[in-house]
Amino acid sequence: MENRKNNDGNTNMERSKISHCSQVEEFFPGLASLPKTLLKWIDENSNDIVTVCEENGKLIFVSQSVEQLLGYKSDELLGSEWFDYIARDDMEYLKKYMDGLEEESGKPFNIHVRDWSGKYIWTEHIISRVRDKFGRLFFVSIVKDITDKKEAEEMMVRSEKMSVAGQLAAGIAHEIRNPLTSLKGFLQLIQAGVSRKEEYYKIMIDEIEKMETITSELLFISKPLTDNKRVESIDSMVEDVITLLKPQAGLKNIEITRNISGNYSVFCDRSQIKQVLINLVKNAIEAMDEPGEIHIHAFIQKQYVTVDVIDQGAGIPEELIHKLGEPFFTTKQNGTGLGIMIIQQILEKHDGELEIQQNESKGSTFRIKLPHMEQ
């Protein structure tokens, strides 16, 4: 389409830019007092994208940095609706976020945004609600490219998962050896022609199912974390984790017990929350140098499902509790220092939190809190 010059000497495109700039300056009165060259420098040199859209989602300002990050010209996006560039899977989450955005500025959140080539990239957004002097509502967003950060996080999670699998190998090998010994003995008896074959078959099937359960939980650790949220039972996830870690605890004569009085449910990614529970229970086992008990207690506290993992170890010095979660900080001789950090990242994605407490008598309590989901 040809850009014709109007009476004032500006093309339609230039007039459009001027119109949008004036809207933004009206929206941000302080901008008018800044030198145009400074605004131009900020616009062209900022790595983050700044957008302003109307209440209906129509974009009225997009900084020129969008071309560097997404490949679009800022002018191409003006007048379009911002949610046209969001991944479909993120739309439901984003709608809930926007509906709950009552303050002037919300907390950062991560979603996929489509670039010029059609590829979806990980971005972090901070959105603010602002009203102009006429009471009109606008949304201002700052968008950052966090692809490298996400890849680094996933690499650390994979590293930690494989480290956990290696540490559990000895206990699981011991747990599998016992059923194999039983199977071998029963097969030898059947081969010798004993008459109680049906009874032996039943025991052999039970032993095979026990090994199958343990190996399936071990295989779970090696799989990448998914991002598929649905309503899940806390009791079911705790049971899976106990099955996996019971052999490791048994090597140190530690018993894992649980007390879950109700059928509590949370809206979560099952693989991620199980990873949180695995890390916490494994840490509890490693914290205990003497035989004892690890207790898992789940209950409702206000709007949260609260899960306590209580150990009988030496406890964590008060002055070190706040440092847990820092990358590569660990109180264990052979620890990676990534376990607690990964737990905090996963819980943050689920609007949850982690609390660490010293027990009055002995050991520590690691408490996770997740929003309760009524079934």
- Check whether residue 88 and residue 119 sit in a common domain: yes
pLDDT in tens, 231-259: 999 999 999 899 888 888 888 999 999 99
Report pLDDT for 13: 41
What does 58-105 look like in DSSP terms, one character per residue?
A: BEEEE-TTHHHHH---HHHHTTSBGGGGB-HHHHHHHHHHHHT--SSB
Same domain, 36 and 155: no
d(Cα 65, Cα 122) in Å, to the nearest integer?
16
Does 3 map to a domain?
no
Q: What is the pLDDT of residue 24?
A: 54
**Side chain identity, residue 20:** H
134 and 167 assigned to the same domain? no
How far, in Å, CA of 151 to CA of 156, rounded? 9
Residues 139 and 155 in one domain: no
- What's the total number of domains in the chain? 2
Asked whether residue 133 falls in the same domain as residue 198, the answer is no
What is the residue range of 40's domain? Answer: 12-145
Q: At 77, which CATH number?
A: 3.30.450.20
Residues 352, 373 contacting (CB under 8 angstroms):
no
The Cα diameter of the chain in Å comes to: 107
Task: Determine the pLDDT at residue 369.
Answer: 94
Of 115, 145, 175, the one marking the end of a domain is 145
Give residue 8's identity as a one-letter amino acid code: D
The pLDDT of residue 151 = 73
The residues with which 371 forms a beta bridge, in sequence order, are 304
Write down which residue in 129, 145, 161 finishes a domain: 145
User: In Å, how far are 21, 62, 87 from 82, measured between CA atoms?
Assistant: 18, 10, 11
CA atoms 98, 100, 101, 107: torsion sign: negative
The end-to-end CA distance of the chain, in Å, is: 56
Looking at the fold, whether 213 and 340 belong to one and the same domain comes out as yes
Whether 60 and 169 map to the same domain: the answer is no
Q: Please check whether residues 161 and 274 belong to one and the same domain.
A: yes
Residues of the chain where predicted confidence (pLDDT) is lower than 70? 1-45, 96, 99-106, 153, 156-167, 170-171, 174-175, 217-226, 317-339, 375
72 within some domain? yes
The strand pair at 353-358 and 364-371 is best described as: antiparallel
* Whether the Cβ atoms of residue 256 and residue 294 lie closer than 8 Å to each other: yes
Domain co-membership, 275 together with 353 = yes
Strand partners, 300: 305
Can you state the percent helix, strand and coil of the chain, rounding each to 5?
45, 25, 30
Record the tokens describing residue 212, joined without a space.
Answer: 């199958």
Domain boundary among 145, 165, 182: 145
Residues 208 and 238 reside in one and the same domain: yes
Q: Specify whether 185 is located in the same domain as 306.
A: yes
Neighbours of 210 (CB within 10 A): 16
The per-residue pLDDT for range 120-160, each reduced to its tens digit, is 888 888 888 888 777 888 888 888 888 877 777 677 666 66
Is-contact 52 59, C-beta < 8 A?
yes
Per-residue model confidence (pLDDT) at position 10: 45
Instruction: Report the pLDDT value the prediction gives residue 272, as an integer from 0 to 100.
Output: 86
Q: Give me the CATH number covering residue 224.
A: 3.30.565.10
